[in-house]
Amino acid sequence: MQSTERSGARKRRPQSGNARKKRIKMLKELSIIKKDFVDFISRTWDKINDYITIHYLFVGISVLLVLFIYYIIYRLVRKGIRRVNDEKLSKERKEILYRLARYAFYFAVVVYILGLFGIKLSAIWGAAGIAGVAIGFAAQTSVSNLISGIFIVSEKSIKMGDTIIINGVTGVVDTISLLSIRVHTHDNQMVRIPNSSIISSLLTNNSYNSYRRYLLNVSVAYEADLELAVETLKKAPALCPTARTDPAPNVWIDSFGESGINLILAIWFDNSDFLAVKTEAFIAVKKVFDQAKIEIPYNKLVVHNA
């Protein structure tokens, strides 16, 4: 038994020797890698020290200081625009001035940084002029929208929150930019309208004035007493809580229709009460006509049995 154990121990000795050799080899490789890494860090740090001098330090501080001054000026300009009274400067103009100030800030920073690297701006302007001719032909629509946007803002025909109608689209203005305006319809759909189409199309702004007029076409039978119909229709606005009394409502005879005589009921209302006054007007007209026993004509189908 002892001889067997000794032979087994002798067989395991070479395995422990090989493992020791592998371990020593691995340690040597790690030592070489560590030495190379330390040398790399040392060389890199020496190069950094070559550049980190008092001169470059002051240059870096001056660059940061100039950029900080640019930013302070930009913030002061925005703050000054914000403090202007809305009556003197509308929200739409403020938004455009905010963007112009931001673009000017970015442009000044880029020009300053390019100057630090010795890039001549004259060469850039020359290249930009050549490229601008080619780009200008491709960007005619954008330029047209840009110019139209300036006219829209300057003439103050639209402001945010107005309800407008253009090219069959009715919506409330959400944003006004130099290229387009965005509105949301009564179905809460976003519609983007280019500024050039606003200038060249018929625009209706329902919110330009604080109140407006609603016209309701009412027809009465040819057999009806027109004087009684007109006097009865004049009672309808009194039953509309949202109707304005100043200007006063009005009623007049408009035309002869196919099945009756057409009357017009004119009611003035505040812009925010459009749907309410429209509903109230229909209910009021039906109520006063029923009380006066005045018939509103409608098409009747008569069937004769052969």
Q: Domain 157-205 is of which CATH architecture?
A: Roll (2.30)
Q: Contact at 8 Å (CB) between 67 and 115? A: no
Q: Which of 45-59, 69-83, 111-125, 157-171 has the lowest mean pLDDT?
A: 45-59
Return mean pLDDT, the chain. 81
The answer to whether 251 and 234 are in contact (CB under 8 A) is yes
Higher pLDDT, 59 or 62: 62
Q: What is the pLDDT of residue 146?
A: 75
Residue scoring higher pLDDT (300 or 190): 190
pLDDT in tens, 241-265: 999 999 999 999 999 988 899 999 9
> What are the pLDDT digits (tens) for 21-61?
777 777 777 788 877 777 777 777 666 666 666 666 677 78
pLDDT digit string, tens, across residues 91-116: 767 777 787 888 888 888 888 887 77
Evaluate if pTM is beyond 0.75. Answer: no
- pLDDT at residue number 151: 81
Q: Per-residue pLDDT for 6 more than 60? A: no
Asked whether the bond before 241 is cis by omega within 30 degrees of 0, the reply is: no
Among candidate residues 249, 266, 263, the one with its CA nearest the CA of residue 215: 266
Q: How confident is the model at residue 277 (pLDDT cuts 50, 70, 90)?
A: very high
Give residue 25's identity as a one-letter amino acid code: K
Quickly name the fold that domain 211-292 has: Alpha-Beta Plaits (3.30.70)
pLDDT tens track for 179-230:
888 999 989 999 999 988 888 888 899 988 889 999 999 999 998 999 999 9
pLDDT for the residue 109: 85
Q: What are phi and psi of 213, to 5 degrees?
A: -115, 140
Sheet holding 261-270, edge to edge: 211-220, 261-270, 250-256
* Residue 243: predicted pLDDT: 93
Summarised one tens digit per residue, pLDDT across range 9-19 is: 444 455 456 77
| Cβ contact 206:252 at 8 Å | no
